[in-house]
Structure 1
Amino acid sequence: MRRYSILVDVLLLLAFFSSAPWSAMASSHCRQTNSGEIRPHSVTITEFGAVGDGVTLNTKAFQNAIFYLNSFSDKGGAKLFVPAGRWLTGSFDLVSHLTLWLDKDAVILGSTNSDDWPVVDSLPSYGQGRELPGGRHRSLIYGQNLTDVVITGDNGTIDGQGSIWWNWFRSKTLDYTRPHLVELMNSTGIVISNLTFLNSPFWTIHPVYCSHVIIQNITILAPLDSPNTDGIDPDSSDAVCIENCYISTGDDLISIKSGWDEYGVSFGRPSRNITIHKLTGHNINGSGIAIGSEMSGGVSEVHAENLYFFNSSTAIIIKTASGRGGYVRNIYISNVTLSNVETALRFYSNFSEHPDDYYDRKALPVIERITVKDVTGDNIKVAGFLEGIEGASFRNVCLLNVTLKVTSESPWTCSYVQGYSDSVSPEPCKALKKIPEDVSDCYSLSNYLWCLRTQKRNSWLHSW
Structure 2
Amino acid sequence: MLQTVAVIVLLGLVGFRGVKCGRTGKVLESVSGFSYEAINCRKHSASLTDFGGVGDGKTSNTLAFRKAIESLKQFESDGGSQLIVPPGKWLTGSFNLTSSHFTLFLHKDAIILASQDEKDYPVIPFLPSYGRGRDAVGPRYAAFIYATNLTDVVITGNNGTIDGQGSTWWDKFSKNELQYTRPYLIEILYSDQVQISNLTLVNSPSWFVHPVYCSNVLTLKLTILAPVDVPNTDGIDPDSCTNVRIEDNFIVSGDDCIAVKSGWDEYGIKFGMPTKHLIIRRLTCISPKSAVIALGSEMSGGIEDVRAEDIVAINTESAVRIKTAIGRGGYVKNIFARRFQMDTMKYVFWMTGGYGSHPDEGYDPKALPVITGISYSDMVAKNVTMAANLAGIDGDTFTDICISNVTIGPSPKPKKVQWNCTDIVGVTSVVSPPSCSLLPDQGAKACPFPTDKLPIEDIKLQTCSS
**What TM-score, normalized by structure 2, do the two folds share?**
0.88
Report the secondary structure of 1:284's partner residue: strand
Structure 1, residues 150-172: CA drift from partner, whole Å, max 9, x if none?
11111000000001000010000
Deviating 4+ runs (over 4 angstroms)? none
- Residue from 260, 264, 268 that aligns with 1:260: 264
Distance change in 2, residues 1:191/1:336 (3 Å): same
- Residue from 378, 393, 411 that aligns with 2:418: 411
**Structure 2: distance between partners of 1:45 and 1:80:** 7
Aligned to 1:65: 68
Report the secondary structure of 2:70's partner residue: helix
**Structure 2: distance between partners of 1:36 and 1:315:** 31
Report the secondary structure of 1:259's partner residue: coil
- Residue from 81, 91, 94 that aligns with 2:94: 91
- Residue from 1, 7, 13 that aligns with 2:2: 7
**Structure 1: distance between partners of 2:76 and 2:195:** 17
Q: Does 1:309 align with 2:309?
A: no
Q: CA deviation at 1:445?
A: 7.2
Aligned to 2:123: 119
Q: In structure 2, give the amino acid aligned to 1:428.
A: S
Q: CA deviation at 1:258?
A: 0.1
CA contact (8 A) 2:316 2:346 kept: yes
Q: CA deviation at 1:433?
A: 2.1
Q: Does 1:48 align with 2:43?
A: no
Structure 1: state its 5+ residue gaps.
Answer: 1-5, 16-32, 448-464
Q: Does 1:435 align with 2:439?
A: no
Q: Does 1:75 align with 2:82?
A: no
**Structure 2: distance between partners of 1:236 and 1:40:** 32
Aligned to 1:197: 201
Aligned to 2:221: 217
Q: CA deviation at 1:201?
A: 0.3
CA contact (8 A) 1:260 1:354 kept: yes
**Structure 2: distance between partners of 1:289 and 1:38:** 32
Q: CA deviation at 1:9?
A: 5.7
Q: Percent identical across equivalent pairs?
A: 48
Structure 1, residues 400-425: CA drift from partner, whole Å, max 9, x if none?
00100023321110000000110000
Structure with more of its chain in helix, by fraction: 1
**Structure 2: distance between partners of 1:386 and 1:237:** 27
How many residues are paired up? 422
- Residue from 126, 135, 142 that aligns with 2:139: 135
Report the secondary structure of 2:339's partner residue: strand
- Residue from 389, 393, 417 that aligns with 1:389: 393
Q: CA deviation at 1:8?
A: 5.1
Aligned to 1:147: 151
CA RMSD of aligned residues (A): 1.9
Structure with more of its chain in strand, by fraction: 2
Distance change in 2, residues 1:105/1:36 (3 Å): farther
Q: Does 1:378 align with 2:382?
A: yes
Q: In structure 2, give the amino acid aligned to 1:422.
A: S
**Structure 2: distance between partners of 1:308 and 1:274:** 18
Q: Does 1:175 align with 2:179?
A: yes
Report the secondary structure of 1:190's partner residue: strand
Aligned to 2:323: 319
Distance change in 2, residues 1:130/1:182 (3 Å): same
Report the secondary structure of 2:147's partner residue: strand
Q: In structure 2, give the amino acid aligned to 1:67.
A: E
Aligned to 1:23: none
Structure 1, residues 294-337: CA drift from partner, whole Å, max 9, x if none?
00000000000000001111111000000000000000000001
Report the secondary structure of 2:171's partner residue: helix
For CA contacts below 8 A with separation 6 or more, give which structure has more relative contact order.
2
Aligned to 1:462: none
Report the secondary structure of 1:243's partner residue: strand
